Amino acid sequence: MLIVKCRKCRICVNPLVAIVEMIIIIYLVIVIQSIVSIGSIGFSYIDYLIISFLILMGSLGSLFMHEYAHLLAARWMHLPVKELTISLAGASTSFDGEPSTAKSSFMISAAGPLMNILTGIILYAAYLVLKESAVVSTIFFCLSVWNGILSAYNLLPVMPLDGGCMVRSILWSKGNNFIRSNQISFNIGNAFIFICFLAGIVSIFAFHPVMSVVCFVLGVSLWQSAKLAYQQMVTAQLFSMLCPKNR
């Protein structure tokens, strides 16, 4: 595991995972080329290696921009940030405390997806401008798609994703009860996860195996994230009971 630290940012890269992800990226680029007329079907092996490596680096950059947007929003809301962690498996931002108001919580959560949407638009515009260069246009197009997927995934209404935190902020602003809003947002997320698994089962009987796999993988990923976040919430509530403070 290679770990690079720069101030409050920590980047973790596992070389073996990087190689596996580059192979997956090459496959996905070939699939995208068969669906959308970008680049050239006649890329050499070296071209594919260069493309996959740059897309991998670009995806890490997109994750960094996502988390850095959270950091900037947190600073604007006077919430100290402990650390940004970027890895090939995902990214996270740890704060020194929690937002004090529903408005600040919403704005900090929304900053990440908005940054990816903006980045995706810029990258797609670059793809349109540089269409003549097969390699470069392919990289920009794939990274624009990646940013779109990243923003869509993070906007899902499941805790601790940004979408779940935004739902919690809205409920918090309406009911002025953070703990209850937190619990309701977890329940909403659990319902969404159940729908994902149900969609996977329905897709099997509808003879759509690819969609079924996507739904099951999404459901498992969301369930694991929600389970970890719930455990952290319970721990935080127990700590607040031992060390009460006004909220």
125, 155, 185 — which closes off a domain? 155
Position 191 scores a pLDDT of 94
Residues 150 and 213 in one domain: no
Of 155, 180, 205, the residue at which a domain comes to its end is: 155
- Of residues 179 and 141, more confidence is placed in 141
Most confident of 151-155, 177-181, 211-215: 151-155
More confident residue, 247 or 108: 108
CA distance 226 to 123: 31
Parent domain of 103: 1-155
Amino acid 232: pLDDT? 67
Confidence bin at 235 (pLDDT 50/70/90): low
Tell me what pLDDT residue 103 has.
Answer: 92
Residue found by looking up tokens 């995706």 in the block: 120
The proportion of the chain whose per-residue pLDDT surpasses 90, expressed as a percent, equals: 43
Task: Tell me: do 143 and 124 sit in the same domain.
Answer: yes
C-alpha to C-alpha distance for 144 and 214, rounded to whole angstroms: 20
Determine the length of the chain. 247
Domain count, the chain: 2
| End-of-domain residue from the set 131, 155, 179 | 155
pTM of the model: 0.85
136 with 30, same domain?
Answer: yes
Token pair 């470069």 in the structure block, residue: 136
Between 3 and 113, name the one with better pLDDT: 113
Query: Is the pLDDT confidence value at 176 over 60?
Result: yes
Identify the pLDDT of residue 247.
Answer: 43
Same domain? 147 vs 161: no
Peptide bond between residue 160 and the one before it cis (omega within 30 degrees of 0): yes
The answer to whether residues 35 and 121 belong to one domain is: yes
Q: Are 169 and 120 in a shared domain?
A: no
Residues 173 and 127 in one domain: no
Indicate if 76 and 198 belong to the same structural domain.
no
Q: Is the pLDDT of residue 246 over 50?
A: no
The answer to whether the CB of 229 falls within 8 A of the CB of 245 is no
Compare 124 and 3 and report the one with higher pLDDT.
124
Between 146 and 37, name the one with better pLDDT.
146
Tell whether the model's pLDDT for residue 32 goes beyond 50: yes
* Residues 146 and 162 grouped into a single domain: no
Asked if residue 164 has pLDDT above 80, the reply is yes
142-169: average pLDDT: 93
Q: How far apart are CA 56 and CA 15, in angstroms?
A: 12
Is 208 found in the same domain as 96?
no
Contact between 64 and 119 (Cβ < 8 Å)? no
Q: What percent of the chain has pLDDT over 70?
A: 91
Mean pLDDT value across residues 2-22: 83
Sign of torsion over alpha carbons 210, 213, 216, 218: negative
Which pLDDT does position 244 carry in this prediction?
52
56 has a pLDDT exceeding 90: yes
Are 52 and 19 found together in one domain? Answer: yes
Radius of gyration from C-alpha coordinates of the chain: 20
Which of the pair, 174 or 44, is modelled with greater confidence?
A: 174
The pLDDT tens digits of the residues spanning 177-209 come to: 888 888 899 999 999 999 999 998 988 888 788
Least confident window among 50-59, 118-127, 130-139: 130-139
- pLDDT recorded at residue 198: 92
Question: Are 148 and 190 members of one domain?
Answer: no
Strands ordered across the beta sheet of 81-87: 2-6, 9-13, 81-87, 90-95
